[in-house]
Structure 1
Amino acid sequence: MSSATENASILHLAAGILEDTKEFIKYLESSNVALPTFSPTAEALPTKPEFQQLQTRLKTQLEDLQLLVDGPSRFYRYFLVSGYEIAAFQIALDFDFFTLVPTEGDIPLEDLANKAGLDQDRTNRVIRMLITQRVFQETKPGFFAHNSFSIALQRDDEMRSMVHYSFDEMLKACAQSSDAIKATPFEADSVHCPFYARFGVPIFDYYKKRPEHSGRFAKAMAGWRKHSYPWEDLKGTVVDIGGGSGHVSIELARFFPHLKFAVQDGDASMLAQGQRLLSDNVRDRISFTRANFFEPQPYMGASAYLIRQCTHNWADHDVVTILKSIVPGLEGSAPGTPLLINDMIMPEPGSKVPRIWERERRQADMVMLVCYGAKQRTVSEFNTLLKEADPRYVIRKVHAEQGALGLLEVYLDRK
């Protein structure tokens, strides 16, 4: 996609950065949010769409200015060695740096190394590498403390799990990408992908055999966002297909106490974890059932069927099978019962979108390529698979995206 700053001069970019920075500050002040700092007590930034658009515009200009200032040679030199920085993050995660550094105050190098079970030399080198990335800080020579970026991984278990599983599994698989694709250049699915080449099993089997990693993966996937779908208009039970630990259903149940949720998943450990997450205010409205979404949907009479962040894990032919399997449930429910596909929606070719916005989605698409032999899809690609599964499928509405995910409202035309 073309960028609005593609032909901009350095001076023009600098002027745009200044104006957008002023808008950035003005928005925060009007929202009574303190300006961001690296202090561990810094406030979280707003997540409203209008602020995220401002962030994207500012980041795009900042990046273009840096690229022009560096030039191609310096950019590639830095880009190639930046991969080695991954080692510092992975060591810090595996040796618990983020939890060993105290929430308040600092810790001397010797104590950090002893608690981590690592020698002082490598402890020192790793944490100093991270400090250059603005992760941790050195309060005085040889004493280390949190800043806003490191404390986020200490306080947020889900965020830390997301970062840790990415380093521990996904980036290792990423290194096998070229070899895996050369081996099967015209096939892509869960056994013809870099993850399988690295670990010797499909990703789903990997987690079934490693329950300790499965729990971490579930936490990593637990981030969620509400969407503009009118949940308050539904009555009865929402079937959460492939719902894992049920974290989405649990949150929706808290916001919409008139609804019940039936969580289905093929992984017993995920379902067991979901049972442990239940609180008294939702316990009697959420059920867990082991079910395979490649087989005909067993639940009839639902008010809606929700499948969230599942289709992107599977190749096209598998998604067609999943969509076919949902049809019996829709046929066994009242006319007009929706199938809600809650997943990332890629921009259509030729559409004008911000470069950094698109890159975030292309990065997610590469994760699917590496780990699942699958992909993120456009609305047109979703529509093609829906029609192949059953010609009666109709996309009635594409809900506006908030953050990373969109929502397709799909119905079975039973006229």
Structure 2
Amino acid sequence: MDDSRILELGVRIGRNTAKVNDYLATNNLPQPSFDVDGPSQFPIPHDESEISAARQAVLHDCLELRALMLGPREYLTSFQHNELVGQQVITRFKLAEAVPIGGEVTFTELAAISGLHEVHLRKILRLAIAQHIFCEPRPGVVAHSAVSRLIAENKVLADWLRYSTDDLWHAAYHMGDAMARYPGSEEPGETGFALSNKTNKDMFRFFAEKPERSLRFAAAMRFFTQRPGLEPERVIDGYPWDKIGIDGLGTVVDVGGSHGRVSIELARRFSSLNFVVQDLDEQVIRDAERQRPGELADRVSYMVHDFFTEQPIKGADVYFFRAILHNWSDTYATKILRALIPALKRGAKIVLNEPVVPEPDKVLPENALRIRANDLVMLELFNGGDREMADFERLFARAHSGFRFQGGSRVPGSNLWILEAEWMGE
């Protein structure tokens, strides 16, 4: 008899689910639940690699089993175009905050509070309830689930959901239009995002003129960077920072570093290093200066700088870019690297903390959807994208023959790689 893939998946799902369940029981951890008092995230520490791997295997295998059980025809028609409508309306009209934690509210009362039509509100929320966002303990009555409670209590998460539904979703919708209108474009103002907002500006400059959206985007990015795998410790442990400079003294320029979260943690660990954090947004720089720990004021400084213009800090030992180049097409990433050249001394290092896409035959099936989706977001927003290792080598070669790309490696537990190039001079 031929091997049964669906049976194999079912057995594996059962085995790994039992492993996860045993761990929860042994460690007296709460069972996952959507009840209002259920845990807000899955209760397994991220450093428990074996159990985390079992959990990830269950998630991946369940998706594959579902697809196989549906078959190609039903699988194609199972995608719902309006799955994000509930999240969009809930965050845009602050519906989660309008429902009391531990209490109840009727659809009629919630409509009066929000100003929405009751019939429309009820249809939207019942879709959300089917997705475990809110619950309906009795007909016509709304109460929180663990999911909606999290939206109500975690503002940066709510900002992330609003950004996802009011910005990313619209940009994705217009991606096909952008491809038709601007075939092969590398311009950041010729994107799905630009079309969705009727602008010819890149997202950053567009948001700079929209203070409310800019603040929401900044909050969304704070939430995004709090994800496991993006902790500053991964950068600290992934590069020999203690070898920088002469006699243990060195300068690092954190280009496009926003509030300088990574530089602050590096400065705490390596007392011989000085850091200059640069960002285009003057408000970000002022906020960062106010929030800078007092004990680091003499070693972490901030300045407004557009990284497409000539680098003003001359002779630094390292120019550090964290998740910057994937925002930009090769045309603009090349400009960013070339803008460094007048400031570079021989031996200066360009250190990147970036996603690296495996070659197609090296992408693990369980990671493929995440990798391809993240890459596409950069295209929708900026005409940028995540790169393979060979792409980075070509990028530095295109920028100038004086760059020697030295490759890199992924830090264990991190979603990003550490890549390095050295300036060898003219």
* TM bin (shorter chain): 0.7 to 0.9
Mapped pair 1:325 → 2:339 = yes
In structure 2, C-alpha distance between the alignment counterparts of 1:254 and 1:26, rounded to whole Å: 39
In structure 1, C-alpha distance between the alignment counterparts of 2:351 and 2:149, rounded to whole Å: 36
Task: Measure how far apart 1:29 and its partner are.
Answer: 4.9
Amino acid at match of 2:339: S
In the superposition, relative to structure 1, how do residues 393 and 295 fare at CA in structure 2: closer, same or farther (>3 Å)? farther
Mapped pair 1:240 → 2:220 = no
In structure 2, C-alpha distance between the alignment counterparts of 1:231 and 1:146, rounded to whole Å: 48
Determine if contact 2:259/2:288 at 8 Å carries over to the other structure: yes
Amino acid at match of 2:384: A
In the superposition, relative to structure 1, how do residues 22 and 330 fare at CA in structure 2: closer, same or farther (>3 Å)? farther
Unaligned stretches of 5+ residues in structure 1: 1-6
SS in 2 for 1:402: coil
Q: Deviations along 1:302-324, whole A, 9 cap, x unmatched?
A: 45322111111111011112122
Worse overlay, 257-266 or 370-379: 257-266
In structure 2, C-alpha distance between the alignment counterparts of 1:143 and 1:212, rounded to whole Å: 33
| Equivalence for 1:90 | 88
In structure 2, C-alpha distance between the alignment counterparts of 1:282 and 1:72, rounded to whole Å: 58
**Which of 1 and 2 has higher RCO (CA within 8 Å, sep 6+)?**
1
In structure 1, C-alpha distance between the alignment counterparts of 2:70 and 2:419, rounded to whole Å: 42
| Equivalence for 1:206 | 206
| Equivalence for 1:4 | none
Task: Measure how far apart 1:364 and its partner are.
Answer: 0.9
Determine if contact 2:186/2:330 at 8 Å carries over to the other structure: no
Amino acid at match of 1:386: F
Amino acid at match of 2:231: R
In the superposition, relative to structure 1, how do residues 51 and 208 fare at CA in structure 2: closer, same or farther (>3 Å)? farther
Determine if contact 1:395/1:410 at 8 Å carries over to the other structure: yes
Task: Measure how far apart 1:258 and its partner are.
Answer: 6.4
| Equivalence for 1:3 | none
Q: How many residues align?
A: 403
Worse overlay, 248-257 or 106-115: 248-257
Q: TM-score if structure 2 supplies the norm length?
A: 0.85
Q: Deviations along 1:326-371, whole A, 9 cap, x unmatched?
A: 3344417xx4x532211211111321x3323121111011111111
In structure 1, C-alpha distance between the alignment counterparts of 2:76 and 2:106, rounded to whole Å: 36
Mapped pair 1:38 → 2:37 = no
| Equivalence for 1:229 | 238
Determine if contact 2:259/2:284 at 8 Å carries over to the other structure: yes
Determine if contact 1:215/1:273 at 8 Å carries over to the other structure: no
Determine if contact 1:271/1:290 at 8 Å carries over to the other structure: yes
In the superposition, relative to structure 1, how do residues 78 and 290 fare at CA in structure 2: closer, same or farther (>3 Å)? same
In structure 2, C-alpha distance between the alignment counterparts of 1:345 and 1:146, rounded to whole Å: 40
| Equivalence for 2:285 | 271
Amino acid at match of 2:15: E
SS in 2 for 1:140: coil
Match of 2:20 among 9, 21, 24: 24
Determine if contact 2:32/2:38 at 8 Å carries over to the other structure: no
Mapped pair 1:397 → 2:411 = no
In structure 2, C-alpha distance between the alignment counterparts of 1:404 and 1:213, rounded to whole Å: 27
| Equivalence for 1:343 | 354
In structure 2, C-alpha distance between the alignment counterparts of 1:378 and 1:119, rounded to whole Å: 49
Q: TM-score if structure 1 supplies the norm length?
A: 0.87
Worse overlay, 301-310 or 162-171: 301-310
Measured on the aligned residues, the alpha-carbon RMSD in Å equals: 2.7
| Equivalence for 1:359 | 369
SS in 2 for 1:409: strand
| Equivalence for 1:163 | 161
